[in-house]
A and B are shown apart, each in its own frame.
Chain A
Amino acid sequence: MTILILEQLLNGLQFGLMLFLLTAGLTLVFGIMDLINLAHGSLYVTGAYLTATLTQATGSFLMAIPFAVAITAILGMIMEMSLLRTLYQRNHLSQVLATYALLLICNEAIRIIWGSQPLELNAPAALSGPVEIVPGLFYSSYRLVIIGVGAVLAALLYILITRTKAGMWVRAGASNRQMATVMGVNIKLLFTVVFGLGAALSAGAGALLGPLLSVQVGMGENILILAFVVVVIGGVGSNRGALVGALLVGWVDNDGTAALSMVLRQLLPPTTASTLGSTLSSILIYILMAAVLFWKPQGLFPARG
């Protein structure tokens, strides 16, 4: 039983950290530029597809990741400079419509380039086996690496935002855009760089999750909804909020489903229990969100104080 709980907690942690990589960019873009970007998931998908293609071309997963992340970051910056920039002054409805169109265009483009068949992406052979963490608990070494990489990236991002000058500009932009501009921050450049950083982090999440899930069109949509929930729970524009929110959502989504279906299976036939378990746990996430909004309407760690 202890092993089961421990394993489920690790699963939740792994999912939460990946969700954080996806949300970190989203919350900064939302917080600093006041832009709702529904096409953020497309950057995640692009990262995964590029990693799969480059892995096939170079034969090395580890070589493929940095290139895929860099290319996606550049694509993201081009997207910001060409299209999204014109949307900052528009209201949220226009932004949602425009970025939703962008999402559909990206999906079709991916379908045209790579076809509708999922791509195969395998973790390096060295990581395909299990490791024994505590006696009796064998855990996938690849999932452990993901947890490690996710944690390191989260720490680096935290240092970047709280301890560096660039981070100070980002925080200034998030808490009061006009004031930051008046104080001489080059907002235009800052926006492009922040967008590129967000794109790189999402691409990283796509690349790391690729071997676990299959790389396919539409893989970004489901996870994007959760990413927005994380943004709301954590507080718009807050990096710390994104991390806490992502871990909360990861644990509730993963362990909530597991615990609920285990309890329900004692009472109901297995098919009903499984259906009900996954339905109830997706409700749980929204209950969590509603509760946070009730007590902390600005989210757990609001960037704009």
Chain B
Amino acid sequence: MKKLIVIAASGLLVLSPASAADKVKIGFLSTLSGPLAVLGTEAQDGFNLALRENNNKVGGLPVEVLVGDDQASPDAGKQAADRMLKRDKVDFMTGVLFSNVLLTIAPSVFAAKVFYISSGAGPAALAGAQCNPFFFGIGWQNDGQSEAMGQYLKENGFKNVYLLAANYAGGKDNITGFKRTFDGGIVGESYVKLGALDFSSELAEIRATKGDALFFFLPGAMGTNFIKQYVAAGLDKQMPLFAPGYDADEDTIAGVGAPMIGLRNASHWAWDLDNPANKHFVEAFQSAYRRYPSVFSFQGYEAFNLIARAVSDVKGNLEDKDALRDAIKAARFASARGDFKFNTNQFPIQNYYLRVVQKDGTGTITNKTIGTIFKNHTDSYASLCPMK
């Protein structure tokens, strides 16, 4: 018996090529506790769904996922990332949602020559001057959805908009994006601490400006609380709400409910987009979790599929980084958003759609896609990126 095992083991050794790794290690670092954690759980659910669909294998190699919680704090994120990079020696990393956390961990990820597939944060710096061959944004550059909303508000003749965002890199990017396309007047602009949950004094200021619309970017429970308090204060009658898609997705709708009906938002993906990959994803997600997927579940799912296809394209050879990078950059997997490709800065060139929150035929409150705002939109930072 013992002999048999030895023979079997040596047989395995012979079979596996010396250059290839024996497994693929993916570090999934996300926000899994605190008021912003709902987004991290969404992303993890999507990621795990793709993992199960691939039977925990990519390109013939078993996958080991190391999960870390950054608590939306750069310090905690840095510690967890260093552990993944130095002790666990991961091959890929993904999952970080908040740009301030991502910008803190990025230098050590790049120094370790580990590919980072961003399923969340897409800070301006990493799309522009500090773009890196080891960084891929699978979702968005932070400005994108807000640029689309700015365009929509401009086309619909809004003149006096109040802007409210969380005070961190991602919040500033979103407001920059909105201002890039919106040319009307801005009656006020204010920033609240990331993680703040009571907006009573902001609401009083917003009311006093008497604007004609409010555009906000407040992730996780911040957005849920803000919309509830905004409606409870009767402000939705005076100034309609607009938001980027990640602030008005299924996770927020689950927390707010009916007060969100009518909220228009922009996203590069929606669960009702009509393509085979999306149909499959939405059905699989619904049967696994009994709810509609949100944009963060979609991106967790896509991040895994991008890695899976690239590893399989290079036949499990993770040592040849250039070949692996080319395989990732080709993005040959079937994306649930439809066709997209990576730009020179390794951020997507993709469409942005207009969605509205409404009650569907079955009485469920959810998003419905009602138009296309941008076709093949590129971010504004690609020209600053030295990569060609």
A residues near B (Cβ < 8 Å) are: 1, 3-4, 7-8, 11, 14-15, 116-118, 120, 122-123, 128-130, 132, 137-143, 211-214, 216-218, 254-255, 257-258, 261-262, 265, 270-271, 273-275, 278
A100 to B193, CA, bound (A): 26
Quick check: B32 and A116 within 8 Å, CB to CB? Answer: yes
Cα A138 to Cα B229 with chains together (Å): 12
Given known A-B contacts A138-B234, A270-B190, A270-B191, A258 and B205 have beta carbons under 8 A apart: yes
B234 touches A130 (CB 8 A): yes
Output the residue of B193, B221, B224, B255 with the most chain A CB within 10 A.
B221
Mark out the residues of chain B between 199 and 241 whose CB falls within 8 Å of any chain A CB in the assembled complex.
Answer: 200-201, 203-205, 207-208, 221, 224-225, 228-229, 231-235
Q: Kindly report which residue of chain A lies nearest to residue B36, judged by CB atoms.
A: A118
Question: Roughly how many angstroms separate A216 CA and B225 CA in the complex, as a whole number?
Answer: 13
Residues of B within 8 A of A137 (CB): 207
Answer whether A213 and B232 are a contact pair too, CB < 8 Å, given A4-B205, A4-B208: no
In contact, B221 and A214 (Cβ under 8 angstroms):
yes
Q: How far, in angstroms, from A4 to B255 measured CA to CA in the complex?
A: 29
B34 close to A (CB within 8 Å): yes
Contact indicator B200/A254 (Cβ below 8 Å): yes
Complexed CA–CA distance, A275 and B207 (Å)? 21
Sampled A-B contacts (20; CB under 8 Å)? A11-B204, A116-B33, A116-B37, A118-B35, A118-B38, A128-B259, A129-B231, A130-B232, A130-B233, A137-B207, A141-B232, A211-B228, A213-B225, A265-B189, A265-B190, A271-B167, A273-B190, A274-B190, A274-B191, A274-B192
**What are the 10 A-B residue pairs with the smallest beta carbon separation, nearest first?**
A130-B234, A138-B234, A274-B191, A11-B200, A7-B204, A140-B232, A116-B33, A4-B208, A258-B201, A270-B189
Pair B208/A1 contact, Cβ less than 8 Å: yes
Query: Given contacts A116-B32, A120-B255, are A138 and B233 in contact (CB under 8 A)?
Result: yes
Q: Complex formed: what's the CA distance from A15 to B172 in Å?
A: 29
Measured in the bound complex, the distance between the Cα atoms of B198 and A15 in whole Å is 10
The range of chain B's interface size is 35 or more
Contact present for A118 and B37 (CB under 8 Å) = yes
Knowing A128-B232, A129-B232, the reply to whether A7 touches B207 (Cβ < 8 A) is yes
The interface residues of chain B lying within 8 Å CB-to-CB of A214 are 35, 197, 221, 224-225
Least distance between B50 CB and chain A CB atoms (Å):
22
| CB closest chain-B residue, reference A277 | B190
Interface residues in chain B, defined as those with a beta carbon under 8 Å from any beta carbon in chain A:
32-35, 37-38, 41, 167, 172, 189-193, 197-198, 200-201, 203-205, 207-208, 221, 224-225, 228-229, 231-235, 255, 257, 259
CB distance from A279 to the nearest CB of B (A): 10
B204–A275 touching, CB < 8 Å: no
Most chain B beta carbons < 10 A, residue from A3, A118, A139: A118
Report B163 CB to chain A, min CB distance, Å: 8
B208 — which chain A residues lie within 8 A by C-beta? 1, 3-4
Chain A residues within an 8 Å CB radius of B189: 265, 270
CA distance A73 to B193 in the complex (A): 33
Residues of chain A lying within 8 A (CB to CB) of residue B172: 271
Contact in complex: A261, B190 (CB < 8 Å): yes
User: Does A213 contact B198, Cβ atoms closer than 8 Å?
Assistant: yes
Nearest Cβ on chain A to B130's Cβ, whole angstroms: 20
With a cutoff of 8 Å between Cβ atoms, the chain B residues found around residue A140 in the complex are: 229, 232-234
The CA-CA distance from A86 to B209 in the complex, in Å, is 56
A275 touching B167, Cβ below 8 Å? yes
In-complex Cβ contact of A212 among B201, B205, B225 (8 A) = B225
User: Hey, which chain B residues are within 8 Å of A212, CB to CB?
Assistant: 197-198, 225, 229
Beyond contacts A14-B200, A278-B193: 14 other A-B pairs, Cβ-Cβ < 8 A, are: A116-B32, A122-B257, A130-B234, A132-B234, A137-B207, A140-B229, A140-B233, A213-B198, A216-B221, A218-B34, A255-B201, A265-B189, A274-B192, A275-B191
Q: How far is the CA of A183 from the CA of B186 in the complex (A)?
A: 69
Q: How far is the CA of A2 from the CA of B192 in the complex (A)?
A: 24
Contacts of B34 on A, CB cut-off 8 Å?
A: 116, 216-218
**In the complex the two chains form, what is the Cα distance from A275 to B172 in whole Å?**
13
Task: Return A238 CB to nearest CB of chain B, in Å.
Answer: 27
By a CB distance below 8 angstroms, the chain B residues around A216 are 34-35, 221
Question: In the bound complex, do residue B233 and residue A139 qualify as a contact, i.e. CB atoms below 8 Å apart?
Answer: yes
Is the beta-carbon distance between A118 and B205 smaller than 8 angstroms? no
Find chain A residues with CB under 8 A from B233 CB.
130, 138-140
Shortest distance between the CB of B165 and any CB in chain A (Å): 9
Q: With a CB–CB cut-off of 8 A, which chain B residues contact A11? A: 200-201, 204
Q: Say yes or no: A271 contacts B191, CB within 8 Å.
A: yes
